[in-house]
Amino acid sequence: MPSEQDGVMVILSSPSGAGKTTLVNLLSKLDKFDISISHTTREPRASEKPNKDYYFVNEDEFNRLIKNQEFLEYAKVFNNFYGTTRTPVIDKLNRGKNVLFDIDWQGADQIKNKKLDYKLITFFILPPSKEILFERLSNRDMKDKLIVEERMKQFGRDVLHWINYDYVVINDNLESCYSKIVNLIDAEINNGSKDYDLEFIRRHIEKLIS
Ligand code: 5GP
């Protein structure tokens, strides 16, 4: 049984282009969460700061961490490795801090299957429509049509993992999506009533995959 003094784990996942990173940045401004900093073998982007956005490591170092069983979870995403080391997360949770994870569905599955003794709340963020997703992906740093097409195909595969999450939230408007997540987390922690319409979500997903 999770203890009331321990922190809560909150996972945010989404297919590429749903706006999850912006949401995580907004949530990180609240005092409520510590963001889990992942290790990755990917090259840093111009806007990213080492040891803040990610711990950027080479494959040898990543493999060493795997071998030493330091990862709580790890996965290959778009040809790069990403992983969450166990010790900083457990230390924070034991000190009563809530930890927010920006990780993909593979990592979310792994953490869920570990059945750790801490409360876990998982969110899957989705775009309002395929058309808007296409627009968002095209306007990003990926002007390359082939990459956008590949990400759209990947979306079709990734979206199917919604079923393994506690909540699916549609990011049609950043402010309302953010409030929905914060309210659901509060309701989960305080056993309050949850404003969540699963049937609406099911219909939305049917449209996205049709
Ligand atoms: P990006 O390269 O755009 O920062 O992240 C690509 C994907 O990797 C995103 O879906 C992000 O959530 C996921 N990701 C980032 N860190 C981790 C991690 O530690 N573990 C897993 N499984 N996925 C991660």
Q: Is residue 168 part of a domain?
A: yes
pLDDT values of the chain reduced to their tens digit, one per residue, 210 residues: 778 899 999 999 999 889 898 999 999 998 899 999 999 999 999 999 999 999 999 999 999 999 999 999 999 998 999 999 999 999 999 999 999 999 999 999 999 999 999 999 999 999 999 999 999 999 876 668 888 998 899 999 999 999 999 999 999 999 999 999 999 999 999 999 999 999 999 999 999 998
Beta-carbon-side half-sphere exposure of residue 70 (alpha carbons within 13 Å): 16
**% of the chain residues with pLDDT over 70:** 99
- The whole-number pLDDT of residue 16 equals 87
Structural domains in the chain (count): 1
Nearest CA to ligand 1 atom 11: 103
Distance CA 39, CA 56 (A): 6
Q: Is residue 59 part of a domain?
A: no
Of ligand 1's listed atoms, the one at least distance from the Cα of 36 is 19
Q: Is residue 117 part of a domain?
A: yes
**Ligand 1 cavity residues, CB under 6 Å:** 38, 42, 73, 75, 77, 82-84, 102-104, 106-107
Among 7, 13, 9, residue whose Cα is nearest residue 102: 13
Of ligand 1's listed atoms, the one at least distance from the Cα of 20 is 12
The rounded Å distance from CA 175 to ligand 1 centre is: 23
Q: Is residue 44 part of a domain?
A: no
- The whole-number pLDDT of residue 146 equals 87
Q: Is residue 111 part of a domain?
A: yes
Distance CA 169, CA 13 (A): 10
- The whole-number pLDDT of residue 168 equals 98
Residue 102's domain comprises: 9-36+97-209
**pTM for the structure as a whole:** 0.95
Q: Is residue 85 part of a domain?
A: no
CATH number at residue 198: 3.40.50.300
Q: Which residue intervals of 68-194 are DSSP H helices?
A: 86-94, 105-114, 130-139, 145-158, 174-189
Cα dihedral sign for 15, 10, 168, 161?
positive
Q: Is residue 139 part of a domain?
A: yes
DSSP lists the bridge partners of residue 99 as: 9, 34
Count of residues in the chain = 210
Q: Is residue 203 part of a domain?
A: yes
Distance CA 11, CA 8 (A): 10
| CA 149 distance to own-chain centroid | 22
Tokens of residue 148, six digits? 């956008």
Nearest CA to ligand 1 atom 2: 42
Distance CA 132, CA 76 (A): 27
Tokens of residue 190, six digits? 């305080």
